[in-house]
Chain A
Amino acid sequence: MALFRLKFNRSKYLLLLFLPALIYYILFKYVPMFGILISFKDYNPFKGIWQSDWVGLKYYSMFFHSPDFPKLLKNTVLLGVYKVVFGFPAPIILALLLNEVRKGVVKRLVQSISYLPHFISNVVVVSMMFLFLSPTSGLVNHLIEWMGYSSVNFMQNENYFRTLYILSEIWQHIGWETIIYLAALSAIDPQLYEAATVDGASRWHQLRHITVPGIMPAIVILFILNIGHVLDIGFEKVLLMLNPSIYSTADVLSTYVFRTGIQAMNYSYGTAIDLFTSVVNLLFILTANWISRKTSETSLW
């Protein structure tokens, strides 16, 4: 007890510095976690979270039996998987290409310019998509018509949604995401390349046997983190792109939660879907981390 008091006394000012952050985490992160309880209750705004009646798994079974469930799950998983399959390698490839550039000026210039879209809001990015792809006045359709084809209504066609979403994601984040890989690349010992050159290894061999293994730990860590967000599709952007004519491919779990949960005020039902999403994401990341630790000794924890 005396030791505790001593330790407390010694760190009381540090604890005071931490206090605002602590309050923030409790009020805005941990209290909402207890709010998940309402997914097992019939939430009544007048009774509040604690007084509402328990209904067990009613809302979960309602969701799993809903005709929307298979479609939503498929849309969400497909979008998430495509994002990992196409979006994850893109910055690695760009970083490797930048690494091959010998002129420092060119490298820095391309880097600086490619970061730019990362700082543009989703509202603006989606607005640009609607304007550039507009069937009547958009730049892209002018080009298509000029080449002799008829214009395409990209944003209203459910077949284009996934491609447009993934392409715009890559456009937005490719430059920014190279930062980590470029840092890992610059940490590779230059002597390895010198030795390889002396031994007559070609550029391709150096890439395969020095560069890629050198950044592998960074790739694995980021891959695990990405896997943890497979169901956690960027809500803002999908919602902004969404219109009823593309629901069949574009409606995902989070936009459905927003529509049925917040807008139609089925709070308990929406929370049940939210929790389902979080738990699946958590399982994904735990599994990915476990596999990685067993096979490559690189892991988050």
Chain B
Amino acid sequence: MKPKFGLFDVILYVVLFAVAASALYPFIYMIAVSLSGTVPVLKGEVFFWPKEFNLNTYAAVFDNPEIGRAYVNTIIYTAIGTAISLIVSAAGAYSLSKRDMLFRNGFMVMVVITLFFSGGMIPTFLVVKSYHLIDTIWAMVLPGAVSTWNLIVMRTFFSGMPQEVEESGKIDGLTDIGIFFRLVLPLSKAILATIGLFYGVAIWNNFFSALLYLRDADLFPLQVIVRNMVLQGSGGANGAGNIGGDSMIVDEALKYATIIVTTVPILLIYPFLQKYFAKGALIGSVKG
């Protein structure tokens, strides 16, 4: 017996369509405006599709030396930060997944406490300052290097790994470190991809650390530049507002283009890693 397609289903599909549209439409709109000519944008005629298609705004964005430098900075922070975070978390999580490790329970308590209690913004700031990390790359990378949630998710994943992996390593005369790097990590690509994505996105999007720990404009990541351009309205500070005499660029379109350029790497990686992350995020949550 097949259930009927009733009124409830109509409402259901309308609601779900609305949810999907509200998540997607803002990006479509921003892309359309950033690719459109001056006149249609000023007249407010752009909704879905670019009108008078051109790339002037993007040319202006890439011409801006501030944005270029910030882009390079962000890529460096994300690459170094993700590598450090992933290796420290994976190694820590693996050792915590071994029941017979000395002090395991004590370390576990120590880690879990940080989920519920922290020193707070100012003590952390003073401590980071006392380590002389202010105005260095490391201020963007180290203070948040390990996320306890991610560590626990990875630990749950490693606990579920078959005993045979470890035993076969022991027979081959490998130490725990050898087993971890040569046997466990290659078998854990899905979880590494997932947690790597979480760390990478968090560092790419990190505004807080830059706000607290960076004073030197040469070190600013993209998020600070976007904040300065869009939210504090200093858009034309370096002449980004006008390129050449005749081709005027609408301030709005330029801001949208900056936002798109900042967000595009995330939008691009997202579909590829999607198949991993839902699975990976579940590993931790279901078994808790």
The answer to the question of A21 belonging to the interface, with a C-beta cut-off of 8 Å to chain B, is yes
Q: Beta-carbon contacts of B219-262 to A below 8 Å, as 1s and 0s? A: 00001101100110000000000000000000010011001001
Chain A interface: which of B50-58, B60-68, B94-102?
A: B94-102
- Expressed in whole angstroms, the Cα–Cα distance for A116 and B75 within the complex equals 21
Q: Which of A32, A221, A275 contacts B124 (CB 8 A)?
A: A32
Q: Which of A35, A115, A171 contacts B274 (CB 8 A)?
A: A115
Residues in B with CB closer than 8 Å to A16 are: 177
- Expressed in whole angstroms, the Cα–Cα distance for A31 and B125 within the complex equals 11
- Expressed in whole angstroms, the Cα–Cα distance for A49 and B177 within the complex equals 39
- Expressed in whole angstroms, the Cα–Cα distance for A188 and B264 within the complex equals 38
The answer to the question of B131 belonging to the interface, with a C-beta cut-off of 8 Å to chain A, is yes
A side interface size, CB within 8 A: 90
Residues in B with CB closer than 8 Å to A25 are: 110-111, 114, 146
The answer to the question of B276 belonging to the interface, with a C-beta cut-off of 8 Å to chain A, is no
* B-side interface size class: 35 or more
Q: Is the CB of B146 within 8 A of A282?
A: no
B interface, over-half SS: helix
Q: Which of A17, A21, A115 contacts B177 (CB 8 A)?
A: A17
Q: Which residue of B lies closest to A301 (CB)?
A: B112
Q: Is the CB of B176 within 8 A of A24?
A: no
With A17-B176, A36-B119, A124-B262: A7-B102 Cβ-Cβ less than 8 Å: yes
**Interface Cβ pair total, 8 Å cutoff:** 247
Q: Is the CB of B23 within 8 A of A117?
A: yes
Chain B interface: which of A65-73, A74-82, A157-165, A179-187?
A: A179-187
Q: Is the CB of B95 within 8 A of A14?
A: yes
The answer to the question of A244 belonging to the interface, with a C-beta cut-off of 8 Å to chain B, is no
Q: Is the CB of A121 within 8 A of B207?
A: yes
Residues of chain A in range 53-95 having any CB-CB distance to chain B below 8 Å: 94
Residues in B with CB closer than 8 Å to A223 are: none
Q: Beta-carbon contacts of B176-208 to A below 8 Å, as 1s and 0s? A: 110010000000000000000000010011111
- Expressed in whole angstroms, the Cα–Cα distance for A171 and B95 within the complex equals 38
The answer to the question of B161 belonging to the interface, with a C-beta cut-off of 8 Å to chain A, is no
Q: Is the CB of B20 within 8 A of A203?
A: no
The answer to the question of A297 belonging to the interface, with a C-beta cut-off of 8 Å to chain B, is no
With A14-B101, A16-B177, A97-B15: A179-B278 Cβ-Cβ less than 8 Å: yes
Q: Which of A114, A142, A271 contacts B120 (CB 8 A)?
A: A271
Residues in A with CB closer than 8 Å to B223 are: 121, 123-124
Q: Is the CB of B119 within 8 A of A11?
A: no
- Expressed in whole angstroms, the Cα–Cα distance for A21 and B94 within the complex equals 11
Q: Is the CB of A278 within 8 A of B95?
A: no
Q: Beta-carbon contacts of B128-155 to A below 8 Å, as 1s and 0s? A: 1011000000000011111000010000
Residues in A with CB closer than 8 Å to B8 are: 100, 203
Residues in A with CB closer than 8 Å to B262 are: 121, 124
Write the residues of chain B forming the contact surface with A, with a CB cutoff of 8 angstroms: 3, 8-9, 12-13, 15-17, 19-20, 22-24, 26-27, 29-30, 44, 87-89, 91-92, 94-96, 98, 100-103, 107, 110-111, 114, 116-128, 130-131, 142-146, 151, 175-177, 180, 201, 204-208, 211-212, 223-224, 226-227, 230-231, 252, 255-256, 259, 262-263, 266-267, 270-271, 274, 278, 281-282, 285-286, 288
